[in-house]
Amino acid sequence: MTRKITVMGSGYVGLVAGTCLAELGNQVLVYEIDSNKVESLKQGEIPIYEPGLEKIFKPLIESGRLKFTDKTEGFLTDRDLVIIAVGTPKREDGSCDISYVLDAARMIGENLTGDLVVVNKSTVPVGTGELVEQKIVDVIKQRSDISASVSVVSNPEFLREGNAVKDFLQPDRVVIGSENSAARETVGELYSSLDCPILYSGLRTAEMIKYASNAFLATKISFINEISNVCEMVGADVTEVACGMGLDHRIQQDFLGAGVGYGGSCFPKDTEALVDIAGQGGYHSQILNAVISVNHQQRIRFARKIVNHLPETEQRPEVAVLGVAFKPETDDMREAPSIEIIHHLQKEGVNVRAYDPEALDNAREIITGVNWALSAEQAVEGADALVILTEWDEFLKRDFARVKQLLNHPVLFDGRNCLPMQQLIDQGYEYYGVGRGIDRLDNILHHSYLLQ
């Protein structure tokens, strides 16, 4: 069944969700307050880098199934559903700022023309759905021209940047939470053509599923990073340890890649928000606080490793950094590990030149004092060491024999364990990864734990 849907917000979630819902055959109107952005979107210009989005985006605009507006007048007329997909940024204390969500609720109340299902896709603290419903009801009560009812449904997104279109159209699961069974079924119909389980739950439970999912994945990353640090102490290789662990069907391989830690718009914000939610209820989350601490320390630990193993130079050492986005296949710099690592290197007197295939424009706004290169070769040539912080495919396919010729010193720091360590060592590189047995066994044999 074709639905008429308004999506509020053209950020990462709103744009992907709106486009994919239109691709599924619905009529979608995306509301965005920024008029300049709306005009660009109408022209088919996508403000984010997301593989696969452009392929379906422009045809949907041309067909009229996907439209954009910056006007609230009539933006809810004859709509079956409205989806809230506005930002929920992190406050300085780690809590989640839901002011944009409540602003969206107010706008819905002011422009409602009849009964409506309100779907919340923004990641929000548990209980926000009820606040949204109350906000809309309060606004409706102040109006004399309409009597309408709303049902709020939580439909959290589980989109991975760089894979978002596939994740939306081929999801592991769809979660739909509401106490109103009719509203749940209305939202469920949006996904009826997808081959995936649909989980129906209460409103608060759906909100909690989103936080618990991201917090668990962040925990898995910090766990393997902590194991990587022990591996360096005892001379083990964390990549082989992770492989051995992941073969257990109860553990599995995903998110067991040791490196410089997680970043992005979800894991850092959602984990800290869940800690805040727990704290407001009087519960101190020991595990999640440790997850956050390990993630921060992992970046500092790697930066110190770089400083401690740089070759001696007559002038300030020059380091080439390849990859600054928080992960490959995105231009997103939010909470990217590269930010903290580069700042630490600069504080230690290291000159940094850097290159990223997609994130340079965003990175320039966040990191200062860096010599931004226009290619990997330009970044590497004449550098005293090479640092990999994002595992872009183009970096993995480089001719490292040629890269070695461009470097002043063949010193390589692999912050993602994405390169063939032994092959690089055989080529003459001084290789440093994460948790790959850097300490030599003859030193480890003297460790006190073996002598007890």
Say how far apart CA 352 and CA 372 lie, in whole Å.
9
Contacts of 418 (CB under 8 A, 6+ apart): 388, 391, 395, 396
- Of 387, 356, 351, 391, nearest in space to 371 by CA: 351
- Rounded Cα distance between 88 and 96, Å, is 6
DSSP secondary-structure letter at 191?
G
266 catalytic per annotation: yes
Spatial CB neighbours of 249, under 8 Å, sequence gap ≥ 6: none
Task: Please pick, among 20, 96, 231, 266, the residue that the annotation labels catalytic.
Answer: 266
What is the phi/psi pair of residue 115, to 5°? -60, 145
Q: Residue written as tokens 């226009």?
A: 374
Residues with Cβ within 8 Å of 181's Cβ and at least 6 positions away in sequence, in order, are none
What number of other Cβ atoms are within 10 A of residue 72's Cβ? 14
353: Cα separation from own chain's centroid: 25
**Gyration radius from the chain CA atoms:** 25
Strands (E), 292-437: 318-322, 351-355, 371-372, 385-388, 411-414, 430-432
**Which residues in 435-451 are b (16+ Cβ under 10 Å) and which e?**
bbbbeeeeebeeeeeee
Nearest CA to 170 out of 159, 155, 161 is that of: 159
**Cβ-count burial 291-321 (b if 16+ within 10 Å, e if not):** bbebbeebbebbbebbbeebeeeeeebbbbb
**Which residues are catalytically annotated?**
266
